[in-house]
Amino acid sequence: MMPTTAIRRGLGTGLFHGAAILLTVAFLFPLIWAALNSVKTSDEANQQPPTWLPHSLSLQNYRSLAGFDQGIGTYLVNTVVLCMFTVVGSVVVCVLGGYGFARYHFRGRSVLFGTTLAILMVPYATILLPLYIVLGKLHLQNTLIGLALVLVMFQLPFGIFLMRNSFESVPRELEEAALVDGCSGFGALWHVSGRIVAPGVVTVALFSFLTSWNEYLAPLIFLNDGAKYTLPVMLVNIRYASFNILDIGALQAGVVVAMLPCLVVYLALQRFYVSGLITGALRG
Amino acid sequence: MLTRAPAGTDSPAADPVTGPRRRTGASAARRSVVGLAFVAPTAAIVAALFLVPLGILVYMSFTDWPLLGSPRVNGVENYRQLGSDDRFLGAIKFTIVYTLITTVVLFAAAFVLVAISNSPRRGTLFYRTAFFLPYVVGTAAASSMWWIDANDQLGVFNHALQTTGLVDQPVGLLATPTKALLTVIALVVWKFVGFQLMVLLVGLQSIPAQLYEAARVDGASTWQRLRYITVPSLRPTLALLTVLSVTGSLLAFDQFFVLTHGGPDNSTVTVVLALYNKAFQSFRLGSAAAEAVVVLVVLVLVNVIQLRLLREREK
């Protein structure tokens, strides 16, 4: 009976999309809700019960956010600086290290590689305590550079592993040809392999960006000067700073500022993210 | 084993390989020095920010380490005290319960989402992206967002529940220990299930299509294909996700710190939160270090056991 199967198939597809759309709405709702609330007027955003759609659009919440404590500008600059240090640091260290591990034989090579991967085994939160002391000895406590170095260290297992694999996939002959042509070891790395391993580099950069932009615990511990705080720390502070009068609109504007760059960067670089997952997560 | 990087090899460019000559002993040694120069930054960071802190941590755990003044070695005293530290023991119990529930719920949710995302129907790419987006948002931002949404007076969750008629009175989603735990688990599933979904999808795609073709030719049902092809092939992926989920849950901090702050009545204090409070609120660094060492040993054991099981299964 053709019509019945067609109907049944149509019904199945309808049910499928119905369920999928319901779930999609559930997943996107908190994100959209924060965005919607952030553009309401301050009164409407703090209204009880809440309104579903903004009655009028306003930047009031963003203005109160801008004036919070040291000013959103300071926190944004801190976060961007931290991200730059972390991304550049991770990329430089991982590219050099990955190349060294892939191409050269030296004493202690496998010990160093194994130790680097062992960072993954050690829970991050447990070594923050002594790291605090080490950074103090290096005079890097309460600095964005010190914080960035710690974040770079936590990127190493993934980054070194990924970059070593990338360089190993570059045919050696290509580089030897460059060496014969008079390139130095570093020149060979730069000119010949650079292009081929570019996707790996983007992946390392993307992961270290997302980590450093979102990191909460490490800045909370290592930074003790309000003028150095990053966005995630500020977000949580908005709540505790404003004792009785909690400005929900401003907090949601802060949430939007904190999450928007991640969403945009992720959507733009999605394919690098997935390729990173394949190498990073599935080596088990 | 610390820094093997010899001094003065910071500039690898100072080592030109001149002319197409054969590799001799001397040039092999030179190559080895160049190699060391490339990994020198890695070695320096691993040594200074990983191995040294690890050593300090172990040392600290055997001392009475006050915030001010000099530390005093006190042997295994810190470890002995942990045995009767109710806060720590309570945190361990809570963390284990949280880890078990979260892992089970995460997998259940991930399987539903995989069924949707892996369907040949149209629109799955869109659904998949939507499910994954919360993962990209930072935990502090996500927890702040949920903290507002879960508020009983101003929050949208209660508004939605009341509008749809599911409840008459506002529900304090963070008011009782059980509700607070469930709300945190809902947040964690919402935020992290996308990652599990992505990893599972990658795992599914690596199963050769011929296997399914052959099974279909042999007349295997959908259920049989799932049972005898999909599940066995995905076993390494599932094991890996279990390790990640268990490790991540045992170390949970941000979501509790922001969403419940350990409350109500210290009912949602995880191990890392207890550790944080001890170190940075009570400044009992030695005791906190002992806790950290215990957590570290347990996690390394969990990882080693899991990895060994993984290897055995592959054989």
Domain ranges of chain B: 18-61, 80-314
ipTM score of complex: 0.85
pLDDT in tens, A116-158: 988 877 777 778 889 988 999 999 989 999 999 999 999 999 8
Cα torsion angle, A159, A161, A166, A170, sign: positive
C-alpha to C-alpha distance for A174 and A198, rounded to whole angstroms = 16
Contact A23 B113 (CB under 8 A): yes
Contact B147 A239 (CB under 8 A): yes
Contacts 24+ apart (CB under 8 A), A199-203: A199/A166, A199/A272, A199/A275, A200/A98, A200/A162, A200/A163, A200/A165, A200/A166, A201/A91, A201/A95, A201/A163, A202/A269, A202/A272, A203/A162, A203/A272, A203/A273, A203/A275, A203/A276, A203/A279
CATH number for the domain whose boundaries are A71-241: 1.10.3720.10
Nearest CA in chain A to B139: A214
Q: Looking at the predicted structure, is the pLDDT value of residue B286 above 80?
A: yes
**3-state DSSP assignment of residue A52:** coil
Q: Looking at the predicted structure, is the pLDDT value of residue B12 above 50?
A: no
- Verify cis geometry, omega within 30 degrees of 0, for the bond prior to A171: no
Q: For B1, which of A111, A131, A185 is closest by C-beta distance?
A: A111
CATH class, domain B80-314, is mainly alpha
Chain A contact for B254, CB < 8 A? yes
Q: Which two tokens stand for residue B200?
A: 């599972």
pLDDT in tens, A210-249: 999 999 989 998 998 888 999 999 988 887 665 556 788 8
C-alpha to C-alpha distance for A48 and A42, rounded to whole angstroms = 12
What does the angle CA B299 – CA B303 – CA B309 come to, to the nearest 5 degrees?
145
Q: For B144, which of A134, A255, A267 is closest by C-beta distance?
A: A255
Q: For B56, which of A19, A107, A133 is closest by C-beta distance?
A: A133
Cα torsion angle, A169, A170, A172, A173, sign: positive
pLDDT in tens, B200-238: 988 888 888 888 888 888 888 888 888 888 888 888 788
Mean pLDDT on B263-284? 87
Q: Looking at the predicted structure, is the pLDDT value of residue B1 above 80?
A: no
Residues of A in contact with B43 (CB under 8 A): 112
Q: Looking at the predicted structure, is the pLDDT value of residue A204 above 50?
A: yes
pLDDT-derived band at A20 (thresholds 50, 70, 90) equals very high
**φ, ψ of residue B73 in degrees (nearest 5):** -70, 130
pLDDT in tens, B121-160: 888 889 999 999 999 999 889 999 998 888 877 788 888 8
**3-state DSSP assignment of residue B207:** coil
